[in-house]
Structures are given as C-alpha cells and as structure tokens.
Amino acid sequence: MNTNSFSRRNTEKRESNQMVFGIRAVIEAIKSGKEIESLFLQRGLNGENYLELKTLIANQSIAYQQVPLEKLSRITQKNHQGVVAFISPIIYQKIEDIIPLVFEKGEVPLILILDRITDVRNMGAIARTAECAGVHAIIVPLKGSAQINPDAIKTSAGALYKIPVCRHESISKTALFLRESGLQLIACTEKTNDDLYQPDYSGPTALIMGSEEDGISDELIRISDYLAKIPMYGEIESLNVSVSAGILLYEAVRQRLVK
C-alpha cells in the first residue's frame, strides 16, 4: 500500500468529520476539550440543557452566532435541536506561551497578526508562506476571522498543521503584549508614505496584515511602531492580501539573512 495515499485518506477523513449537532453532544464536545471553530445557536432556545450550554460557552469564551432555524436546517437536516458546532482541525495556542519559548531557543521572533482576514483561501495561502518564511506564530481574532476548515488546510498545503495559530479575543491587547515583550509592530497599510523597505525587520517583529475590504483597524494602526506601504506602479491599486503578506515576510527574511 502507498503510505502517502493512506496518510492522505486519513487526513481527508479528519478534515471532513468536523460537525457536531445537538445540545448534549455539543456540551460533551466542549467538556472533552475539543476546539470549537464555529458555533450556531437557534434564536429563542431555552431549557435546562440550553442554559448549561450557554454557561459553558460563557466560561470558556467561545464565540457563537444566534441564527434562525432555517439556517441550521440548511447546514444539516438531522435533529440538531437548535445547536450546530464545527470542531477545529487544529489546536489553537496562546501567544503568551510561545514568545518566551522563542527567546529561550535563542531565536528572533517573527509573528504575523491577521486582522479580519475572512477568506479561508487567503488564510491558507498566508499560512503556507508564513511557514516557509519561518514565522513563529500566526495571531487571529476570536471573532471576525476566516475559519480554519478543510479549504484553509488544503490551500495551506498542510502548513496550518505545522505553524502555531493563536486565537485571541482582543487583537489590540495581544499586540500590546507583544510590544511589552520587546517586539516591534509593523503594519502593512496604504495610510503612509513610508515604503516597506524602510523598517529594520532584523529584530523581534510582529507584522500586521488587514483585510482587503477594510484594511487594518484604526486601533492597530495607532499602536504600531511603523507603517509600511508596498510600492505600486500599475493601474490596479491593491494586491491580494496573501501576496502582500508574502512580500512583507520575505523582506524580513532578506534582511535577516544579510545581518
């Protein structure tokens, strides 16, 4: 038997077996330590089991959406009892645990912050480039970020299984923690006259990328140490965010190689 084929079939099985439905089933999934990628609750639900679920969600800061019954029924025709969850194929980590380990190993941290990147294929493509560039971790917000689902995993060529992904409720507070830990914050934005070649990326650095629609939030712009713009000479005014991330990451790689 071809071991690569066997491994691929196992991966596909793992990636496709993510949905959990029913109040008690979702409660037990959370209690067992499963990472909840997304959670949908029917509007107007009540009852003892539902209250137990809501308490568990609140205690563990799990993001959820309240949706009409029709949306849940489009997700699955089975008896979902008004609750459908998707289990993450990865285990999220905490950046507070990663930064000390990077310094202890004598490495110079290179972190990537993704602010409101909602397209799963962009997420996957960015993760693939980040892993190749030696990024130590990717940080995403708890809400308003692309799901780590089979499409993201496949687009990343498996990089999302290799690179730590940290999901935090407040990206700005997380960015401030990085600054307090000795990292500089460099935001890739058009809201500056300074191009991406001016900052020195050779020290501990966190690069911030924003969505193509909204860019980087004003709060993150305000707390950034440097704003960096990718020079544009054609008629099209913007690049795909995964391409932009690659350009910025490999400028950091280039500078670190020549130091």
pLDDT in tens, 103-156: 999 999 999 999 999 999 999 999 999 999 999 999 999 888 998 988 999 999
Tokens, residue 213: 């629609």
Q: State the DSSP H helix or E strand holding residue 208, giving kind and residue range, or none if neither.
A: strand 205-210
**How far, in Å, CA of 171 to CA of 140, rounded?**
7
Distances (CA, A) of 2 to 5, 7, 13, 14: 5, 9, 17, 19
Say what the pLDDT of residue 137 is: 98
Q: pLDDT tens, position by position, for the chain (259 residues)?
A: 333 333 333 343 344 448 999 999 999 999 988 889 899 999 988 888 899 999 999 998 888 999 999 999 999 888 899 999 999 999 999 999 999 999 999 999 999 999 999 999 999 999 999 999 999 999 999 888 998 988 999 999 999 999 999 999 899 999 999 999 999 999 999 999 999 999 999 999 999 999 888 899 999 999 999 999 999 998 887 899 999 999 999 999 999 998 7
CA dihedral 237, 243, 245, 246 (to 10 degrees): -140
* CA 157 to chain centroid: 16
Q: Which domains does the chain have, with CATH numbers?
A: 16-87 (3.30.1330.30), 95-258 (3.40.1280.10)
Say what the pLDDT of residue 113 is: 98
One-letter amino acid for residue 259 of the chain: K
**How far, in Å, CA of 147 to CA of 37, rounded?**
7
Q: Are 20 and 85 in contact (CB under 8 A)?
A: yes
**How far, in Å, CA of 190 to CA of 38, rounded?**
32
Name the pTM for this structure: 0.84
Q: Are 87 and 26 in contact (CB under 8 A)?
A: no
